[in-house]
């Protein structure tokens, strides 16, 4: 494995077999919490357990399985810049989508009625 960069010698950084399984076990526990949490039907709890935990899970996969914690720092920076692009896109477009009218325009599109799927049922 001479081609490998030294920074990725997994064992030398304490990422042994056991620790990977441990990370996986934590991810499974978080998955269970993210399923149970929204069952309470409380909006804040749903947001935290479903989406908050999704961010934690993604962070753990990136850090421990993709080894971003021991990868060159600028790789993380490249990925963060891409996420920043996403936020710029969101900030630029969201007002048009979320607002139903503006100074010089009115949104004419109307969402089909809920349960529209059933309307096309052939059974």
Partner 1 sequence: MSTKPLATTRSVMNIPTGRLAVWWVIASEIVIFGGLLGAYVMFRLSHDAWAEQAAVTNTWAGAFNTLVLLTSSLSAVLAHQAAERGEGKKAARLLHFTILGGLTFLVVKAFEWTFEIQHGYTLTSNLFWSFYYTAAGLHGLHVIAGMVLMFFVARTAARNEELQRVENVGLYWHFVDMVWIFLFPLLYIAK
Binding site for partner 1 (CB under 8 A): 1, 3-5, 7-11, 15, 17, 20-21, 23-24, 27-28, 31, 34-35, 38, 46, 50-51, 54, 57-58, 61-62, 64-66, 71-72, 74-75, 78-79, 81-83, 85-86, 89-90, 93-94, 97-98, 100, 111-112, 114-123
Q: Which of 60, 4, 72 is nearest to 34 (CA)?
A: 60
Our CB check for partner 1 shows the closer of 28 and 102 to be 28
Q: Which of 58, 67, 60 is nearest to 4 (CA)?
A: 67
Our CB check for partner 1 shows the closer of 108 and 119 to be 119
How far apart are CB 114 and partner 1 at their closest, in Å?
A: 5
How far apart are CB 25 and partner 1 at their closest, in Å?
A: 9
Which residues, 6+ apart, have CB-to-CB distance to 56 below 8 Å?
Answer: 30
* Joined tokens for residue 85: 């692009």
Q: Which of 1, 22, 23 is nearest to 12 (CA)?
A: 1
Question: Using the 8-state DSSP alphabet, how is residue 123 labeled?
Answer: -
Our CB check for partner 1 shows the closer of 103 and 121 to be 121
């Amino acid at each position: 494995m001479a081609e490998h960069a030294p920074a990725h010698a997994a064992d030398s950084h304490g990422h042994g077999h056991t620790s990977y399984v441990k990370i996986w076990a934590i991810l499974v526990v978080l998955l269970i919490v993210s399923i149970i949490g929204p069952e309470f039907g409380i909006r804040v709890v749903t947001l935290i357990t479903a989406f908050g935990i999704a961010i934690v899970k993604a962070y753990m996969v990136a850090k421990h399985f993709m080894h971003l914690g021991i990868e060159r720092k600028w790789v993380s920076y490249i990925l963060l810049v891409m996420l920043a692009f996403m936020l710029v896109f969101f900030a630029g477009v969201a007002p048009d989508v979320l607002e139903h009218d503006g100074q010089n325009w009115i949104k004419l599109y109307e969402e089909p009625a809920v349960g529209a799927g059933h309307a096309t049922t052939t059974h």
